[in-house]
Structure 1
Amino acid sequence: MNPFMATFRTGFLRGRTELKQTFTSGQDLWNYVFPTVTLLIVMFFMKGAAVPGTNFSLGSRTLPSAIGMGVAFTGMVTLAMGLAVEREDGTLLRAKAIPNGMLGYLIGKIVLVSGMVVCSQVLILVPSLFMLDGIDIKWFTLVWVVVLGLVATLPIGATIGSLFSNPRNAGLIMLPMIGLTAVSGIFYPISSMPDWLQGVAQLFPIYWLGLGMRSAMLPDSLSAVEIGESWRHLETLGVLAAWAVVGILVAPMVMRRMARRESGSSVAARRERALQRVT
């Protein structure tokens, strides 16, 4: 077996093991269940409202948007937080000491986060199909949007996580993420917002993931409330692919730079500062 395949196999097995462990951890199970229940409650109360200009349920329209948001949040925030935490506790330093260890570590994280995305979104989708009306799933579109969305967002998460040595500071990314979600048409059509906000939202993956998921799960007639009255598949493909290419080029460079700075003394210093905060 060549070195790359051995590294890929090791990383895949690591990610699969970590994914299994999330189902035995109370905190991880809470992270699966709490957002799911919250979104289901929100969509239930939005069920009686209609998308402006149509008779279609706003709750049903929110479902695919929420799934797109979930892919973006998990891809960026979960990976970023995981990298920051494992940088502080020395996991990354141990990976660095193994031949191709950083590549195997990254592959493992990609497997873990991708598995978490699938599990968490299935938890939302299945009960929603019974609770909401009008969902019309086009599976091919659903698959390519999710896969391309992960390829676009995971490198962003890896880059952000590599920039923070303190996991508590990494939590700051939630603030701009919440702001982007608010203006990206996740819970209300973006076409009703000011033009300058529409332009800002369209620069980032969250909007395009939401749009792509709506095109995969809603009747074609609902495209009338979108920008340009179209699902804009080519634009979705182009923007997500552009983010994916930039991320794939930038993330490895940032991670290599971060790994070069890791040493036993830096890990010990961060651990000492963490202990001082606790005490």
Structure 2
Amino acid sequence: MRLGVSRIGFEVRSYFRQGDTLFFTFLFPLVLLLIFSVVASDGFGPPGEEISSAAYYLPGMVAAGVLLSGLQNMSIDIAMERSDGTLKRLAGTPLSPVSYFIGKLGQVMITGILQSALLIVVAATVFGVELPTDPERWLTFTWVFLLGVTTCAILGIGLSAVPRTGRSAAAVVIPIVLILQFISGVYIAFSSLPDWLQNVASVFPLKWLAQGMRSVFLPESFASVEPSGTWQHGLTLIVTLLWLVVGLIAVRLTFRWIRKDA
């Protein structure tokens, strides 16, 4: 535990020293929020209850940030560390896999919180988005965020075993992340997608994380636009927990300091 906690500080410092990682995982949702808020016309929602484009896209960008900070960042970072020999060297130190994971998960949690806070502050101060005042909504935000970022991070650790080299990690991971964002209601209204694509997206956690974030930041009337007509918090919890279990099993079966076929 002591080594894991001290590792968190090292991981956070390393994260913010990588310019490309900082842009494509930490700042990318903010850049997209700025673009959509400026380019897209306002007037989302039922007649008489329209909201601005910034308010409409904010929940999706927060959910996308959770996916980027967790799954994309974790999978590429660990694949690179395995490829360049970092993990092999760590295997010869007193650092255990548990301590290593504590450091990684702590880094994802800290950067994810900072990223979400930045998105919310910019949306509120720059674009005048009205934030929820109901404590129950912020409680929903808390459990959806914590469960989502943990699940995405664990899945990222499991996915890191797929790329054969560090160079191929981005080519393997980024298309998966992009496709999930496009079919999960992040950039395109989920209800406007074909039924079969909605069914596919509903298998994966990002759809439920985005829906959970919409339940926090959008007016209650927007629940009627969802395919079920409700926010389905229970299903969000169940599906995300199931993926967390899948990720834990994958990590237990696949994580090695070095690849077996290396």
TM-score in same-fold range (> 0.5): yes
Cα offsets for 1:55-107 (capped at 9, x unmatched): 23343121011101110122111000110111112111122223452221121
Choose from 9, 21, 26 the match for 2:2: 9
Deviation at 1:260, TM superposition (A): 6.0
Deviation of 1:47 (Å): 5.2
Name the residue aligned to 1:18: 11
Q: Distance in 2 between matches of 1:157 and 1:224?
A: 33
What SS class does the counterpart of residue 160 from structure 2 fall into? helix
**Structure 2 counterpart of 1:39, which letter?**
L
What CA distance in whole angstroms lies between the structure 2 residues aligned with 1:196 and 1:222? 22
Structure 1 counterpart of 2:32, from 24, 34, 38: 38
Match of 2:156 in 1: 157
**For 1:9-46, what per-residue CA distance to the aligned partner results, in whole angstroms no more than 9, with x for missing partners?**
21121122221344455445545345423322222333
Partner Cα distance (2:59, 2:28) in 1: 18
> Size of the alignment, in residue pairs?
255
Do the aligned partners of 1:49 and 1:59 also contact (CA within 8 Å) in 2?
A: no
Q: Which residue of 2 aligns with 1:276?
A: none
1:136 to 129, 132, 157: 132
Aligned residues of 1:65 and 1:213 also touching (Cα < 8 A): yes
Paired with 1:97 and 1:64, the residues of 2 have a C-alpha distance of 43
What amino acid is aligned across from residue 118 of structure 1 in structure 2?
I
Q: What does residue 181 of structure 1 align with?
A: 181
Contact 1:64 1:217 in 2 (8 A): yes
Aligned amino acid, residue 101 of structure 2? L
Map of 1:115 onto structure 2 = 110
Query: What's the secondary structure of 1:259's corresponding residue?
Result: coil
Paired residue for 1:230? Answer: 230
Unaligned runs of 5+ in 2: none
CA distance in 2, matches of 1:262, 1:96: 14
CA contact (8 A) 1:43 1:63 kept: no
CA shift in 2, pair 1:150/1:85, >3 Å: same
Using the alignment, how far apart are the partners of 2:3 and 2:130 within structure 1?
Answer: 43
CA RMSD in angstroms, aligned pairs only: 2.2
> Per-residue CA shift, 1:88-130, capped at 9, x if unaligned?
1211112222345222112111111221111222221101012
Amino acid at match of 1:162: A
Secondary structure, aligned partner of 1:84: helix
Asked if residue 206 in structure 1 is aligned to residue 202 in structure 2, the reply is no
Contact between 2:71 and 2:155, CA under 8 Å: does it hold in 1?
A: yes
Tell me the distance in 2 between the aligned counterparts of 1:34 and 1:175: 15
Kindly state the Cα deviation for residue 261 of structure 1 after the two structures are TM-superposed: 4.0
Q: Percent identity?
A: 31
> Is 1:51 equivalent to 2:55 in the alignment?
no
- Which structure 1 segments of 5+ residues have no match? 1-7, 267-279
CA distance in 2, matches of 1:243, 1:110: 16
